[in-house]
């Protein structure tokens, strides 16, 4: 059994007993039952995921996977492909939004070159000497092929990228990570994510495709046309209609229209779930990775928190398909893991409420009759 198969086999269905135990403690705390709303839901889920009597999420890691997409040749992005490598360097120099928000959350930032179409010099390393940022060279290929013309990846490349994500998150967990967040960097990756969500949900391409990096109306129309034609090329549309066929197996779909960073994030999600660590999903790209992971391991969504609802058109569909509710809704659409880093604060707050509040008995407060 290879590493991917072994990881999938280790993802369990969470028993109801842990959540019931958590609810009993929540109801014993000095507050009216349910009065802390979503924080109580989050606390219950943390107990169920970890199996711990007092779950801790103090040690946090944000894993940002970076990769390029051949489909950018079709004009689906407002930015050139070279921006992917430039932004990786920005991450390493501490200048991006995710650097600011990861520092604010007290999280390590792990930047992974899993498929950037550029070679970083051997001396390339984080300028931040605190050890809070790490750069990993795990290139599976220098970007994907143009999925509008051919399969984005081979089967072996897709498996290698998923496995790389598993290995990266396992290393973070070995360092002590208790809460994992996903982030992405890759020009063209909203087109790949839109193709994945259309294929896996059966929704019309026009309904789930957004502006990504900020393309204009003509660019959006072109993007929708490219994705629709690609789905037809790969046998994912009904002959003679605009309808989408039920998705092919998730791994095959990933190879045909996905991205290396999407696959890597899928591996991160699978690896964290197998180790019973909670995963905070960022936005649209992380949602595509989670859909693929759920296609491989149906129980995986139980281990995930949806950080926010992106303004990308298909993100709501993704979350509904996964059965996840966003923690915040701030009109975010940057990616990088920014929404996930923000949500980490609320998840940690939920854990502290659960762990540190006094019960009625401990505080000597009369309970409601």
Alpha-carbon gap, residue 183 to 96, rounded angstroms: 12
Alpha-carbon gap, residue 15 to 22, rounded angstroms: 12
Helices (H), 175-283: 189-201, 205-208, 217-233, 250-257, 260-274
Alpha-carbon gap, residue 111 to 126, rounded angstroms: 10
Residues in the chain: 369
Residue 108: beta bridge partners?
61
What token pair was written down for 261? 């960073």
Instruction: Please give the distance of CA 318 from its chain centroid, rounded to a whole number.
Output: 11
Phi/psi at 185 (nearest 5 deg)? Answer: -150, 120
Contact 96, 128 (CB under 8 A): no
Alpha-carbon gap, residue 88 to 93, rounded angstroms: 9
What token pair was written down for 213? 């990096």
Residue 196: beta bridge partners?
none
- Active-site residues, by number, are 336
Contact 68, 81 (CB under 8 A): yes
Alpha-carbon gap, residue 301 to 290, rounded angstroms: 7
């Amino acid at each position: 059994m290879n590493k991917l198969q072994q990881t999938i086999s280790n993802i369990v269905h969470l028993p109801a007993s842990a959540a019931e135990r958590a609810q009993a403690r929540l109801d014993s705390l000095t507050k009216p039952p349910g009065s802390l709303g979503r924080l109580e839901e989050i606390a219950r889920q943390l107990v169920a995921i970890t199996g711990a009597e007092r779950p801790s999420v103090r040690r946090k890691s944000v894993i940002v996977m970076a990769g390029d997409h051949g489909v950018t040749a079709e004009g689906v992005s407002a930015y050139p492909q070279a921006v992917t490598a430039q932004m990786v360097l920005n991450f390493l120099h501490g200048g991006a939004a995710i650097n600011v928000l990861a520092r604010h959350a007290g999280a390590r930032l792990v930047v992974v070159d899993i498929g950037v179409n550029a070679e970083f010099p051997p001396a390339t390393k984080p300028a931040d000497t605190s050890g809070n940022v790490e750069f990993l060279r795990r290139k599976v290929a220098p970007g994907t092929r143009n999925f509008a013309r051919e399969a984005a990846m081979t089967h072996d490349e897709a498996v290698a990228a998923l496995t790389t994500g598993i290995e990266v998150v396992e290393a973070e967990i070995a360092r002590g990570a208790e809460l994992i967040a996903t982030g992405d960097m890759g020009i063209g990756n909203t087109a790949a994510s839109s193709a994945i969500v259309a294929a896996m949900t059966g929704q019309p391409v026009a309904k789930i495709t957004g502006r990504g990096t900020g393309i204009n109306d003509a660019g959006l129309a072109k993007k929708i046309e490219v994705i629709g034609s690609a789905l037809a090329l790969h046998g994912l549309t009904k002959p003679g209609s605009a309808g989408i066929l039920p998705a092919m197996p998730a791994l095959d779909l990933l190879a045909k229209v996905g991205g290396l960073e999407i696959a890597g994030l899928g591996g991160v999600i699978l690896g964290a779930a197998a180790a019973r660590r909670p995963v905070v999903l960022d936005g649209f790209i992380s949602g595509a990775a989670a859909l693929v992971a759920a296609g491989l391991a149906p129980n995986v969504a139980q281990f995930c928190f949806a950080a926010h609802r992106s303004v990308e058109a298909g993100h709501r569909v993704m979350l509904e398909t996964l059965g996840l509710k966003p923690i915040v809704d701030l009109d975010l659409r940057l990616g990088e893991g920014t929404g996930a880093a923000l949500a980490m604060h609320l998840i940690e707050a939920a854990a502290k409420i659960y762990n540190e509040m006094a019960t009625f008995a401990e505080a000597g407060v009369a309970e409601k009759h």
